[in-house]
Amino acid sequence: MTILVAGATGLAGSAIVRELTRIGRPFVGISSKDVDLLDRDATFNYLNKLKPNTIIDAAARVGGISANNSYPVEFLSENIRIQTNLIDAAHSTKVEKFVFLASSCIYPKNCPQPIKEEYVLTGALESTNSAYSIAKLAGIELIKAYRKEFDHKWISVVPTNLYGPNDNFDLENSHVFPALIRKFIETKKSKANSIDLWGTGKPRREFLHVDDLAKAIIVCLDNYDADQQINIGTGIDLTIAELAEKMAKNTGFTGRINWDMARKDGTPQKVLDIQKITNLGWKPTINLDQGIKLTVEWYLENK
C-alpha cells in the first residue's frame, strides 16, 4: 500500500513523513518541486503513474494574519485549485483513502467555546482570513460530496494552530508562534531592552505540536470514517500575551514587551473540542512548554 503525502516538505507534511518513517509504512512524499498541483494535467498524470492507495493532503498556501489579509485572491484561488486537482485526480485513479487537512479557521469568528465539529457554517467567518477559510470549507464539502456520490472512504481533519520543525519563520508572513520565536531571538541578540509585538495580546489560542498532529492523522486514517470533519488539538488555550511570556523565558529575553494595538488581533478565541479524536484513543503528548523548548532549539540549530 503506497501512501502519497502531498506537501511533504511543509510544517505538517514533514511531520507526517517523519511519523510514517517511524512506524515503517511505505510512502512517497511530494512538494511543488516534484509536481505542481496548481497544474491539473500534471496532477492527473502524476497520480496515474504512481497509483497510490492513500493520499494525505497537507499541500496548501498558508500564512499568518498579515499574509491572509493582504493576498486573499491567492489564498482562495490557489488553495481551491490545489485541493480540487488532487481530490479529482484521486477519484480518477481510484484512491481508496484520502485525508484532507483543513484548518480551524473554518469555524465562525464568534463561535461557542470549545468549538465542536457541528458549529461549522453557523456564523460569520473572521474577515482577515475568510478567503483561506472558504477554500478549506470547499475542500471539506468536496470530500463529503465524493463520499455521498461515490461512497469513498475519504475524510477531513481540522488541526488547530500548529508549530514545530520546518515552520515558516518569516516575520511578515508567518503565523504567530514561529514569528514570536524569531522575533524574541533576534531582539535578544541585538541586546535591545524592549520588543514590539502585534495586536493587544488578548486573543486566546490553542497550539499543537506537529508531531502530535502526525500521530493523530494516522489514528484517523486507520479508525475514522465519517462525513463530518474531525477536530485535532489539545483542548487547552492561552492568551497571546501569555504565549509571549513563555517565549521570552525560553529564549532568555528579559526586556519589556510592547503591544502594537494598531495591528489586527483576528478571532478573539479559538479552542477546539477534541472529544471525537480522543475517543479514538489519541491524545497529545507534547505539552506547550516542552514544545516551545524543542522548537526554539530546532530554530537555533537550523535557521
Whose cell is 488581533? That residue is 265
All three cell numbers of 158: 481540522
128 secondary structure, DSSP code = G
Separation of alpha carbons 132 and 256, rounded Å:
34
Is 31 exposed, middle or buried, given 0-12, 13-18 or 19+ CB atoms closer than 10 A?
Answer: middle
Q: Is residue 132 flagged as an active site residue? A: yes
- Is the separation of the CB atoms in 55 and 87 below 8 Å? no
Separation of alpha carbons 218 and 99, rounded Å:
10
Which of 107, 132, 146, 163 does the annotation list as catalytic? 132
- The widest CA-to-CA distance across the chain, in whole angstroms, is 61
φ and ψ at 139, to 5 degrees? -65, -45
Is 149 exposed, middle or buried, given 0-12, 13-18 or 19+ CB atoms closer than 10 A?
Answer: exposed
Separation of alpha carbons 135 and 131, rounded Å:
6
Q: Is the peptide bond before 72 cis (omega within 30 degrees of 0)?
A: no
Start-to-end CA distance of the chain, whole Å, equals: 36
Whose cell is 514590539? That residue is 196
For residue 182, the SS3 value is: helix
Give catalytic residue positions.
Answer: 132
